[in-house]
Structures are given as structure tokens and as C-alpha cells.
Amino acid sequence: MIDIKLVRQSPDVVRASQQARGEDPGVVDAILAADGARRSSLAEFESLRAQQKSFGKRVAAARGADKATLVAQAKETSERVKELESASDADGAELETLLRRVGNIIIDGVPTGGEDDYVLRETVGTPRDFAAEGFEPRDHLDLGERLGAIDMERGAKVGGARFYFLTGVGARLELALLNMGMAQAVDHGFTPMITPTLVRADIMDGTGYLDAHDDVYRLDADDLYLTGTSEVALAGFHADEIIDLSNGPKRYAGWSACYRREAGSHGKDTRGIIRVHQFHKVEMFSYCRPEESEAEHERMLQWEKDMLAKVELPYRVIDTAAGDLGGPAARKFDCEAWVPTQGRYRELTSTSNCTTFQARRLGVRERLEQGQGPGTRTVATLNGTLATTRWIVAILENHQQADGSVVVPRALRPFLGLDVLTPVTG
């Protein structure tokens, strides 16, 4: 949630952010009106509440008719205080509802527009020329079935559409990827975490994943949500806490299963394991000081690029446009790997700077240092992907050989225990 102080002090900044996202800038005026109403009703409530507190001593000291009059006034004041408190609470609820309609304020330099309006930051590596090598590349599902690595048919039999089994070397390949991601995270000072994949409604809401998402699984009987990323659990790890960032950011690496309904993807990527309901992921998560968040974001992007270099994939980095960010993110960089059989780049990692948006909702703060004044302030949160199931798609397709085998990237071999994946079927 954005800071109401920012709306009061810099409404044009909020309007510009809304416009860049393709959202209604008029909500800013509604917020200012609701804020004014709430402050007015709160001030009236507090003033009358102070008067109410004085009645006790006055009634005790009064006698006869004066006492009866004061008792009646006290009763009338008490009823009015309750009315004003109710009005103030209603105004506060209206204000919060309006604030929740506003996505995080984008960082200067974020491209304006929607999904196709990203800015290309860099392209790394060159896609293989399979025609020059004399063979037509197979797609990841064809390769996976030949390797005995992917079984979509039985996945659908057990779980329905968009479910799958990773079998044999497929399961080993995923574990190797995730272990390599976790090892890199630990090398850079991250605390490894196995996170809950079911979270309470207040935690899911605090991260912003209930604002405009239709791909979330909910367990109605328990009022719990299945998480689509360990970011949710890691964001909730320090909810309602004051944390110490005097020695730098607090960094966690979460390993979890992830669940997404993919409700808006009917007919998209129905073949293979690109867009599925369940997958595994290692996710970086960082709590840091707000003024350090942009530098931390660049570090997260570099750690993602380091992982992509280890699996030897050609990829590009894009600066995602404001309208494609999602509510919590103030900026997001995606790394997209080349998928030969699709002839295009597909997202493998993303890293988002959520500034103070999530932490404000979740109550994660730090104490102000000496000279900054008394009290606490909201911290910043960031997240980024180190490895997911989808990486298998790019690895199989980019490292395949004419005979259907797949060469294992050198850095991955110690984690997998194999140099080459060989077909088990013709």
C-alpha cells in the first residue's frame, strides 16, 4: 500500500504513476477527499472524547440538579462520541479501500505502457543455428519424453490439465537446478528457507496478491491460500516486527512448491511444462532500507544473470513497462531465455523492487538511527527468481543434440552427476 503522506505531499507524482500504469489517476482526488473527511471526523471525535473524559470528575464534584444535568450531558456526549468514532472508522475504511486501488509508485525511468512496451536492457549470447548444424530442433516435451524425463499424460490422469510428472533424469534435473540456485544464494549470504505453501489471508493480502489476481488457489474451509511463490511466506516472516538492518539487508532464499490457477491463460502454452499449475522455485527475498533498494535490485538482477550464465543460455533482460508490473512492484526486470522451437524469448526469471509497498501493509519496520529522530520507519522488500521448473524447457531445447541427447551445462554437472542426458526411447 502506498503512503498517504506521499499522496498529500505529491499528488501529481501519484497521478503520473497511475497514468503510466494505464490506471485511473482520478483515484488520487478521491483519496484526498476521503483523507480530508477522515481527518475531520477523527479530530472531532478526539476533541469530544477529551471532553467526555472530563465529565467523570465534574459529575463526582457536582450536587443536586447540577449533577443530574451533568449526568445527562455525559450520556449525550458518550452517545455522540460513539457516533463520531463509528464515522471516523468508516472514513478510515473508505480511505484504505481507495489506497488499495493504487499500485506502487513506479520508479523514475520505468517505461510507460503495457506488456509490449518494455525496454530492452541487454541481450546476452547468440541462439544456436540448428539449420547450419543440419537438424531440426525438437521441442522440450518431445525431448523430455524421449529422455524419460517428463510425463504429461499421466500428470493429466492424476491432476488434470497442466499437471505433469518429472521422472528419472527430469526429477534429477530439477533438483540439480534448485540445489545450484540455493548454493549460489548461500554463497552470497542468503539464509536458506523451506517455506510454508499455505498462508493466512492477512499475509496473502499484505503482499498485494489478492488485489487483482485471479490465479490464486484458496482453501475455503480453512481460509488459507496456496502460494504462487515463496515471496509471500518470506514477506510474512517478519510481519509486525521491527528488524535490524544496521549490518545491511536481511536476505532469504526460499525453496517451495508454487501453485497458480492460470485462470487467464486458456489456450496458451498448453503443450509441455511452460505454463502449469504446480512447479518448484528458489526465490530470493530481501528486506533493506528504502534508499538502498535500487542498488539491491541491481544486485538481484546480477545474481539471476550469474545463474543463467551457469546453464549457458542465450537470454535478454527487459525493463518491464508500468502497465505490466503488477500492483506491488515499483520496477521489475525480467530475464528471458531463447526457446529455439518457439523462435522467441520466454521469461525464466524476474526480480521486483517493491519498495515499501508490502512492508507497510505487513508492518515490517526498522528503528530510526541516531540523528534521524525517534521512532520507526517502513523498510523496503525485493524479490527475484534463481531457478524454477520452467528452466528445464530452455535447457533441454538449447543443449539438445541431433541424436536426441542433451548436453548438461558444465556448472550443473556436479549437482546432477551426469554430463549428458541420453534418450531411453527411440
**Is residue 413 classed exposed, middle or buried when 0-12, 13-18 and 19+ CB atoms within 10 A define those classes?**
middle
What amino acid is encoded at 243 in this protein?
Answer: I
38 is catalytic: no
Rounded CA-CA distance 409/125 in Å is 15
Q: Is 350 a catalytic residue?
A: yes
Q: Residue 133: how many CB atoms within 10 A of its CB?
A: 11
Could you say which DSSP state residue 150 is in? E
The answer to whether 346 is a known catalytic residue is no
Catalytic residue among 88, 352, 390, 397: 390
What is the dihedral angle through the alpha carbons of 237, 243, 247, 253, rounded to the nearest 10 degrees? Answer: 10
Q: Beta strand pairing status for 365-367 and 376-378?
A: antiparallel
Considering Cα of 102, then 107, then 108, then 114, what sign does the dihedral take? negative
Q: Cα–Cα distance between 23 and 408 in angstroms, integer? A: 45
Q: Is 375 helix (H, G, I), strand (E, B) or coil?
A: coil
Which one is catalytic: 39, 80, 128, 275?
Answer: 275
Residue type, 180: M
Q: Can you list the positions of beta strands (E) in 77-175?
A: 119-124, 150-151, 165-166
347 as an active site residue: the answer is yes
State yes or no: is 260 an active-site residue.
Answer: yes
Among 340, 395, 341, 315, smallest CA distance to 144 is for: 395
Angle of CA points 193, 199, 205, to nearest 5° = 115
Query: Annotated catalytic residue: which of 21, 260, 331, 361?
Result: 260
Of these residues, 350, 352, 365, 366, which one is catalytic?
Answer: 350
CA nearest 308: which of 172, 138, 124, 174?
A: 124
Reduced 3-state DSSP string for 66-81: HHHHHHHHHHHHHHHH
Q: Are 314 and 356 in contact (CB under 8 A)?
A: no
CA distance 258 to 228: 5
DSSP per position, 27-53: HHHHHHHHHHHHHHHHHHHHHHHHHHH
> Across the chain, which distance is largest between two alpha carbons, in Å?
108
User: Which residues are catalytic, by number?
Assistant: 260, 275, 347, 350, 390
